[in-house]
Amino acid sequence: MPKLDRLTLARRPPGWIRKARTPKRIFPALALLAAWLTVSPVAGGSPGPAVPGVVIDYSPASSRIYIGSPSIAMLSKSDYVASHDEFGPGSAENTRAVTKVFASRDRGRSWTNIARIEGQFWSTLFAHHGALYLLGTDKHLGQAIIRRSTDRGRAWSSPLDASTGLLRAEAQYHCAPVPVLAHAGRLWRAMEHREPPAGWGVTCCAGMLSAAVDADLLKAANWTFSNFLPADAKWLHGSFGGWLEGNAVVTPDGRLVDLLRVDTAGLPEKAALVLISPDGNHASFDPVSGFVDFPGGAKKFTLRFDPRSGLYWSITSIVQLQDEQAGQPGSIRNTLALASSPDLAHWTTRRILLHHPDTAKHGFQYVDWLFDDADLIAVCRTAWDDAQGGAHSYHDANYLTFHRVLKFRAQTPEGP
């Protein structure tokens, strides 16, 4: 395990260690990612002590509504917007899913709920040409849709037809808050389609959406969908369980690829590099050369290239040595780490950001993040303690939390 850094906090509440109920030995890891260890007032119950980061939203396990799909966008140096959807047996994820939108005007120190959208799920929040967009599905394995806001996230368009954001009317689309990449005059965003409409993972077929950067993004005719590439359970000597939640990224030699999460039964964790043609029409994959070792690759991750360091960066839910026997890699989410690569093929875990020794009811997962000069800002689906007995499970998170990695390049061992 990489050596833990010293605490780096922009602000600490008085007596924060004294009030915490978690073991002192994990405090350094909890504090590394959080720029502020505070608890924001939220509706629906009482957050627990020492929740890592700034609490944006909270939903107790008793509601049977869990927090999913965190995403974040920057409107200016001080104005951020975040979103998450609701899943679980108490939610409407299978009928008319709900996404909530939040705003911060003080660089993430505090947050306000500004919108509740019915019919939006698994969505990427992104800013483009002075507007905000949500690109995802209308429900669990639903239609592919996009919405636009011109008032900083308070009011949103409705995807009623092919002219107003309904990109594909058929169902079975799958995705997550993954990057919308500007490259070669187009916007690119990975998505999957389940074929046949049964099962999980291995029936998700990998593909890519794209549109010209100056196009009306609400018009379906302006979007190109690649073929959706089927997977094969025989890959990885029969240990392949599926691929999903891919990232659009450009390789060092200028090729566009879809780098996907890969479900496997054992370690090391993997990611898959699916090649996308320059026109966005064709996806292809070589199972002999297309898999790479990727720390945290069995869980959803966001990946971006940093021109300042010349490295690709990701925040991932890794498996540490002491947790290897706790279950399959995809079910272990109690450690969050910062990772980097010079070439997308060779990855280094740079430092541990968050950790809790329990794998059953604690999780840091589905992190979406952005560069903010010398820092990273991030939102996380967090399963943590509360006054009602904690999260339902590591997977069924009860918090949406905001975090800041201060001077991530300079403070990283072996950093550039």
Tens-digit pLDDT profile for residues 25-41: 333 334 344 333 334 44
CA distance 123 to 177: 5
In a domain, 8, yes or no: no
CA distance 103 to 149: 13
Would you put residue 280 in left (φ > 0), alpha (ψ -120 to 50) or beta? left
Report angle CA 158, 162, 163 to the nearest 5 degrees.
70
Residue 237 makes CB contacts below 8 A (sequence gap 6+) with none
Kindly write down the DSSP assignment for every residue of 274-313, as one continuous string: EEE-TTS--EE--TTTSEEE-TTTTS--EEEEETTTTEEE
In a domain, 124, yes or no: yes
**Alpha carbon 134 to its chain's center:** 14
- The predicted pLDDT at position 103 comes to 98
- The predicted pLDDT at position 156 comes to 99
- Which CATH number goes with the domain that contains 349? 2.120.10.10
In a domain, 115, yes or no: yes
In a domain, 89, yes or no: yes
- The predicted pLDDT at position 413 comes to 58
Torsion from C-alpha of 268, 327, 314, 357, nearest 10 degrees: -120
Which residues are paired to 405 by β-bridges?
A: 376
Q: Are 93 and 85 in contact (CB under 8 A)?
A: yes
Q: How many domains does the chain have?
A: 1
- pTM metric for this prediction: 0.89
In a domain, 330, yes or no: yes
- The predicted pLDDT at position 351 comes to 95
Would you put residue 114 in left (φ > 0), alpha (ψ -120 to 50) or beta? alpha
Those residues of the chain that have pLDDT short of 70 are: 1-49, 411-416
- The predicted pLDDT at position 412 comes to 63
Q: Which domain holds residue 264?
A: 36-405
Which residues are paired to 377 by β-bridges?
A: 370, 404
In a domain, 1, yes or no: no
CA distance 170 to 163: 16
Measuring CA to CA, how many Å separate 322 from each of 96, 191, 395?
A: 41, 34, 20
Which residues are paired to 256 by β-bridges?
A: 250, 276
Q: Are 168 and 187 in contact (CB under 8 A)?
A: no
In a domain, 10, yes or no: no
Measuring CA to CA, how many Å separate 16 from each of 52, 108, 126?
A: 11, 19, 34
Give me the sheet containing 54-58, strands edge to edge: 54-58, 399-405, 375-383, 363-372
Residue in 232, 291, 233, 298 with CA at minimum distance from that of residue 269: 298
Per residue in 70-112, pLDDT (tens digit) is: 999 999 999 999 999 999 999 999 999 999 999 999 999 999 9
Q: Are 22 and 356 in contact (CB under 8 A)?
A: yes
CA end-to-end span of the chain, whole Å? Answer: 20
Residue in 344, 402, 337, 336 with CA at minimum distance from that of residue 369: 402
CA distance 150 to 292: 40
In a domain, 80, yes or no: yes
